[in-house]
Amino acid sequence: MHNTTLVLATSVAAALVAYALKPKKAKTELEAQSKPVPVMPHYLPFQIDAVLGYISGVLSGDDEMEGLRELSLTLGNTMNLRGMNEDYIVVLEPACIQHILAKNQSNYEKGSAFKDIFHEFLGSGIFNADGDIWKSQRQLARPHFQTSEFKDSALINKHVDQLLKVLSKVLSAKPDEAIEVQNLFCRFTMDAASEFLFGENVNSLEHEQSEFSTAFNYAQSISAWRFRVPYWKIFVPKRRLLREIAVLDKFVYNIIDNAIARQEQRIKDGVVPENKIGHDTLLDHFLSYQKENDFSSAYLRDMLLNFLIAGRDTTASLLTWTMWELGQNPEIKEKLVAEIMDQLGPNTVPSYVEIKKLKYQKQVVNEVLRLHPPVPFNMRQSVQEDVLPNGYYVPPKVPVSYSAYITHRMPELWGEDALVFDPERWGPERVGKIRPFMFVPFHAGPRICLGQNFAYTEAQITLTRLLQSYDILAKNGFKPKPTGDIVLFSANGVEVYFKKRSHSEI
């Protein structure tokens, strides 16, 4: 214990000395002509009080996203969360978000800091890549995410069937208890995403504590802490992370080997010609380009885990917060149920085409995405110095982030009722007021999420079938604790009551 404390103290002292001796650079001409970004308040050298206060708040359960939103009310819509004399710029105005994601996208890469944080977990996959590697993966993956790949919704409905069975079983055992839905939805979307991407179901709905799911969750949790802690290589543990990643690797490499063997056998049996391999899954799709690209197993492993993190978490987050909002807003829930019954009735298993009839449901989903965007914070890194559209200076090689969570709650954009859950914002009378880059739950620009249509479809089909079968009621006194991790979840989950719906009630 004493040795560990000594090592940490020595490391911090060495870092402070290094910063103290670091020569100050003269201002460039561009910097001299621009405004400095307002810095988070601090009183001690190297912003130690601000850094420790932030970490302490997260550990004690403070709502870090709301804390940042409140800080923006003081500092403004561009702020510098500097810690240990390292800049960390956050932009909130739509014009600035558009600048870094689209207009000057080439100057804002994922960058070395982001890649460092995720390297062991995500390797060189699409979310951790820049330049030609990113372009190649995106170009190859795009066709698999076209609407035609999943419009019959058979795979989604298959997993909703299993979700409803598990929910019914839980309610049979505990009919009068509230259900924690976040864990349930994470397991559901893990199964659907793994089959869509890999062609193999990890069966986490059936086996809640599967090795794969446990390893996946731990890798995400540690990655989130690396974002928060300066000098994370010293302070954030790594030994267990490597063990859990080994579990992921074993599982994914086995799937890859099986898929390659399956493809080779299909060609050998003459089921498909060598130059036209089928691609029912994303893995099959990439393997159909194997001959000309010579993808390594490591490349395929990185690609699959990158898409899995998006395919599971975004929809699980969306469904979780939808349950919360419907419990809190019974009049909105009843209007939503009325639309489902009018358009589809109580028993129709919805297809992709039928979901499109549910206009009010889409408004509800968009409003959930506005107040509870699945990725609340997204980081880039500047390549060269730059000036934002609002006149603030961005140095080279510094993290520059935008927060969908805060932008989606800004009164100057959404009105004085910006914190109110109101699906009518998305109705035909008001939707025209929503300008580009005001609403970015799936990012925007060239790196906009490839799977957003799949996420909408999966969420809407699931929501429809849940409401066909159950009424959703709030648990009095329960309050979720949002976390600012990679994905916006609740630290204590979300608990609601499910009451079996009698169709004579409708």
User: What is the CATH number for 165?
Assistant: 1.10.630.10
Q: Copy the structure tokens of residue 249.
A: 């690797």
> What is the number of residues in the chain?
506
CA distance 322 to 496: 11
Q: Copy the structure tokens of residue 169.
A: 């079983």
CA distance 502 to 82: 56
C-alpha 139 chain-centroid distance: 21
CA distance 317 to 369: 9
- Which residues are known binding-site members for heme? 449
Burial class (CB in 10 A: 0-12, 13-18, 19+), 419: exposed
CA distance 132 to 438: 29
Structural domain of 382: 2-505
Q: Number of structural domains, the chain?
A: 1
| CB 365, CB 456: distance < 8 Å | yes
Map tokens 């989130």 to a residue: 224
Per-residue pLDDT of the chain (506 residues; tens, 9 = 90+): 445 444 445 545 555 565 565 566 778 889 888 899 998 887 777 777 777 777 676 667 777 788 889 889 999 999 998 887 788 899 999 999 999 999 999 999 988 888 888 888 888 877 777 788 888 888 888 887 876 666 668 899 999 999 999 999 999 999 889 999 999 999 999 899 888 888 888 888 987 767 887 888 888 888 877 877 767 777 778 889 999 999 999 988 998 888 888 777 777 776 665 555 555 788 888 888 877 778 888 888 988 888 888 788 889 999 999 999 999 999 999 999 999 999 999 999 999 999 999 999 999 999 999 999 999 989 899 999 999 999 999 999 999 999 999 999 999 999 999 999 999 999 999 999 999 999 999 988 888 888 888 899 999 999 999 999 999 999 999 999 998 778 899 989 999 999 998 764 54
| Strand partners for 83 | 86
- Which residues are known binding-site members? 449
